[in-house]
Structure 1
Amino acid sequence: MWVLLESYHDVTYFTPESRAATDSLGCKGGWMGYFGMRAAPLGAVPPELVISTFYNFHPWMVRRAIPDAWQVASPKQFLATRLAGAEAALRRMLGDALDTLDEAADLAVTAAKNAPIAGRPLGAANAALPSPSSPAMALWQAATVLRESRGDGHVAALVAASLDPIETLVLFAAERGLRPEYMRQARGWSEEEWTAAADRLTERGLLSPDGITEAGTALRNDVEDRTDALASTPWDGLGPDRTDRLAELLTPLVQSLADQNDAMRANPMALDVRAALARARMDT
């Protein structure tokens, strides 16, 4: 369900439509648009809160955008802009299919109402927003609530595992075979900071010169298992039959998005939609 809903949400920040919308708002670069749109549900917050909740971005990347973004536009304007950009991107990629999403929206909204918010600031802030009137965007809003609530739980699992933001990236990159240069660029960390984090992980027995160790893999698996467990409440509430029905409705949409959304071809989450869907079919 994470793969499906993340893929539907993922049109939000890096599509041409989204970038055009934030440029029109007056943002100075794509990252100001990203931080402004994603943090907007929290209100005009200081950079420290964004650093805390977004977790693995270097603080300097956040401080380049926040709080200056709130001088460019209000959080309310950023919220309207992210809806407009996401809807335009979805319309381009999915066309008339956006007009047939009533059932999927109803199911996703029901699931999102059960998304945990205690101790989950981004999930709670998004859950407090009104649901858009169109089914396509109500589905998008529900997907956003679910992914941010899940993300908050993921941060809690990382903190419990004593993995700081850059250590999280180093270990994840080692496990998934992602290039360190790409991950550093995507999240703003220097080569020296990356090396120091790798040294700390090596001292803990989580990395070795040959790559991630058995202990490192076990810790990564534990973090992901905890994240999934902490994100299970919406699907327990929806029930297996309705969850399966939502997956059935979303799968063709997500396959189309995977073919067209260039931002999903290479991403720091290592989100390989088609491979994940293939694994899900094998599991069932």
Structure 2
Amino acid sequence: MIFDQWHDRAADDDWRETSRRNARSVQTTVGWIFWDPGAVARFEAHGLPGPFGYIASRGAPLAPAGAEALTAAFGTISSVGIAVTFDLLKGDAAAFREFWHLRDEAVDEGLRRYAPDIVDPLVEMGPTLWSAVDRLPRLGRVLFGATVSMPRPRNPLLSGWHAVNAIREWRGDSHWALMASAGLTSSEASIIHNEWLGYKDDWLSKSRGQTEEEINHGWEMLSRKGFAADRRLLPSGLRLRQQLEELTDGLTALPWQLVGADFSTEFAERLEPPCELLLARVDETAGPNYQPASRVRKRYRDPEGDGTS
């Protein structure tokens, strides 16, 4: 299978593990803001409920390309929610950028308040992270490319945060490219991720705003492909999802290879403790199922393999 060839070439086990480990801190450093009351209050004061404010603030770099482009880039986020956001903002790219800046205000305020020990690491490590971001390939990474085209903040804390955000978007674009290469649709990708996580009742799909019709169609397609039966994922489907995760870890090791092993370890050791505080903040503001990429989970063990997956 071609995925096996990619897996072998992507990165050795040490770099794959570094990528997997640091992905948690990257996701947490950025993702907590999606449900932060400070951000939500700012969005609502400017006319958008929280979920639509998230779409506007994150999607601002790509907003000039329109709702369909943003739907493609966002992977499993509801196309309906994205369309509503564009309608509410009348497709005005300047309005989207306003929400980008509102999010920045909330990030600066929230990090200093809820995870103050992350401030110095982001300030000090930001320039090196940007040096890696500037060398990452753009091919196929559309949301990443749009994101790095935005003006970089002069505020050193926000600059460091945006460097981490750029790495996050680069990993995200890479991950969705792999999902597309596996022939998965948005609804199918949500379903196999939900089952791989051990979540119940299509929780992940529903949390992203997907409709019952979309979810039902996703189950139908997975069944046709031999990955599911009776609305349960088969071992073949779980195996595919695990393989895609390992491929993602391997193919997104590049930022850490560019900054080097010592810096990558320092990043992990300095960011993990304050990121635990930010993850606790997600538990409080959203709930323990949210932001699964930030959470430690048991590694999937293939019942037909050697147990090392």
Selected match of 2:158 from 137, 158, 167: 137
Q: 1:53·1:152 contact (CA, 8 Å) conserved in 2?
A: yes
1:282 aligned partner: none
Distance 1:97 1:2 in 2: 16
Q: Which residue of 1 aligns with 2:302?
A: none
In 2, the alpha carbon distance for the partners of 1:97 and 1:181 equals: 34
What secondary structure sits across from 1:131 in the alignment?
A: coil
Q: 1:218 aligns with which of 239, 249, 254?
A: 239
Please say if residues 57 and 100 of structure 2, whose CA atoms lie closer than 8 Å, have aligned partners that are also in contact: yes
Assess if the C-alpha contact under 8 Å between 1:116 and 1:123 holds in 2.
no
Q: Which runs of 5+ in 1 are unaligned?
A: 280-284
Among candidates 146, 152, 156, match of residue 167 of structure 2: 146
Which of these residues, 26, 39, 43, is aligned with residue 47 of structure 2?
Answer: 26
CA-CA distance at 1:237 after TM superposition: 0.8
**Deviations 1:156-204 (CA, angstroms, capped at 9, x unpaired):** 1011001100011111111211123532431222334322321221222
Identify if the C-alpha distance between structure 1 residues 173 and 23 changes in structure 2 by more than 3 Å, giving closer, same or farther.
same
Out of 57, 75, 93, the residue aligned to residue 77 of structure 2 is 57
Aligned twin of 1:174: 195
Letter of the 1:140 partner, please give it: W
Q: Report the residue type matching 1:50 in the other structure.
A: L
Q: Distance in 2 between matches of 1:128 and 1:200?
A: 37
| SS of corresponding position for 2:32 | coil
Q: Distance in 2 between matches of 1:161 and 1:174?
A: 17
Q: Which amino acid aligns with 1:121?
A: V
**Preserved contact between residue 37 and residue 285 of structure 2 (Cα < 8 Å):** no
Equivalent position SS for 2:33: coil
TM-score (norm 2): 0.81
* Percent of aligned pairs sharing the same letter: 25
Q: Say which is worse superposed, 16-25 or 111-120, in terms of deviation.
A: 111-120
> Is 2:217 the counterpart of 1:191?
no
User: Displacement, 1:220?
Assistant: 0.8
Return the alpha-carbon distance in structure 2 between the equivalents of residues 157 and 40 of structure 1. Answer: 24
Q: Which runs of 4+ in 1 moved over 6 A?
A: none
1:235 Cα offset (Å)? 1.1
- How much has 1:264 moved relative to structure 2? 6.4
Does the 8 Å CA contact 2:57/2:97 hold for their aligned counterparts?
no
CA contact (8 A) 1:25 1:73 kept: no
Aligned length: 276
The answer to whether structure 1 residue 79 and structure 2 residue 100 are counterparts is yes
- Relative distance call for 1:146 and 1:272 in structure 2 (3 A) is closer
Task: Tell me if the contact between 2:32 and 2:279 (Cα under 8 Å) persists in the aligned partners.
Answer: no
2:76/2:208 contact within 8 Å kept: yes
**1:93-135 deviation line (CA, Å, top 9, x unaligned):** 0236525643232333333233332211111111122332233
In 2, the alpha carbon distance for the partners of 1:45 and 1:63 equals 13
* Structure 1 position 88, deviation (Å): 1.7
